[in-house]
């Protein structure tokens, strides 16, 4: 008859292995029963581990030290909402400016007739104006901020977990702007940018909605998701293209932005 191992007995004690076979074996085997009782006695002794007493007033003492470190929840919420609102307003303004510029360019193109024959092969359909450049700057800033955040996650030591407490509010603001840029890119047929922003959004959301401290497992999982999509590389490439103002060839999916 095979006796139970020490590990099986420990697992059984903590109800992590409730196989009926173990129960039956313990009932019939005196050796294993003695071993099991020995484990139980040691663990009962561990319950004697001393923990310094804290009196009834301990909670009040904790509060008196803590209260000065707490900001007002309302103040914090107002600050976050204010930041998000400012971001949305700025984006809406620049998007409107850009849209106006697109319409003006189209009107000029229509008025001048079809000039595509005179345009060199591979040249953009329209020359971006000042407003376009403003939008490029805004999108580039957005991509740079996102890239820095992704780099921080990817380059961290996941085995030690990851503290994203200070990044959550920034990630929330980036999510808001990311949605608007993604929609704008989709509307203007820039599928490439839209796709990168679409891949970026869930990662930003995860950071924004995290409880601040990621466990090593959570940090590793996040790093893997970023790596598996080659997200950091894509963001760097598209950021370099927009900052270098390299407007891709006038073909479907790579028009403006």
The answer to the question of residue 120 lying near another protein (CB under 8 A) is: no
Site for another protein in 151-170 (CB under 8 A): 158-161, 163, 165
The answer to the question of residue 244 lying near another protein (CB under 8 A) is: no
Count the Cβ atoms, other than its own, within 10 Å of residue 78: 11
What's the DSSP call for residue 118?
Answer: G
The answer to the question of residue 217 lying near another protein (CB under 8 A) is: yes
Minimum CB distance to another protein, residue 98 (Å): 35
Closest to 247 measured CA to CA, from 138, 142, 134, 132 = 132
Answer for which of 2, 16, 113, 117 binds another protein (CB under 8 A) is 16
Minimum CB distance to another protein, residue 197 (Å): 25
3-state secondary structure 123-185: CCCCCCCHHHHHHHHHHHHHHHHHHHHHHHHHCCCHHHCEECHHHHHHHHHHHHHHHHHHHHH
Give me the residue label for tokens 């924004």: 208
The answer to the question of residue 27 lying near another protein (CB under 8 A) is: no
Where on the chain is the footprint of another protein (CB under 8 A)? 6-7, 10-11, 14, 16, 38-39, 41-46, 48-52, 54, 58-60, 62-63, 65-67, 69-70, 72-74, 76, 158-161, 163, 165, 209, 211-213, 215-217, 219-220
């Amino acid at each position: 008859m095979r006796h139970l191992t020490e590990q099986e007995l420990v697992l059984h004690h903590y109800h992590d292995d409730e196989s009926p076979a173990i129960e039956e074996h313990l009932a019939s085997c005196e050796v294993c029963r003695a071993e099991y009782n020995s484990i139980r006695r040691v663990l009962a002794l561990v319950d004697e581990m001393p923990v310094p007493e804290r009196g009834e007033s301990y909670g009040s003492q904790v509060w008196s030290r803590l209260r000065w470190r707490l900001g007002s929840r309302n103040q914090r919420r107002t600050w976050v909402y204010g930041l998000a609102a400012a971001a949305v307003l700025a984006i809406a303004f620049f998007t409107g400016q850009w849209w106006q510029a697109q319409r003006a360019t189209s009107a000029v193109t229509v008025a001048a007739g079809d000039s595509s024959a005179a345009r060199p092969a591979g040249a953009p359909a329209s020359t971006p104006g000042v407003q376009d450049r403003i939008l490029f700057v805004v999108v580039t800033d957005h991509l740079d901020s996102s890239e820095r955040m992704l780099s921080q996650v990817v380059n961290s030591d996941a085995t030690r977990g990851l503290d994203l407490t200070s990044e959550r509010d920034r990630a929330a603001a980036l999510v808001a702007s990311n949605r608007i840029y993604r929609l704008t890119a989709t509307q203007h047929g820039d599928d490439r940018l839209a796709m990168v922003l679409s891949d970026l959004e869930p990662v930003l959301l995860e950071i924004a909605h995290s409880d601040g401290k990621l466990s090593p497992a959570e940090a590793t999982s996040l790093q893997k998701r970023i790596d598996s999509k080659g997200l950091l590389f894509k963001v760097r490439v598209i950021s370099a293209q927009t900052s270098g103002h390299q407007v891709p060839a006038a073909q479907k999916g790579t028009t403006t932005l």
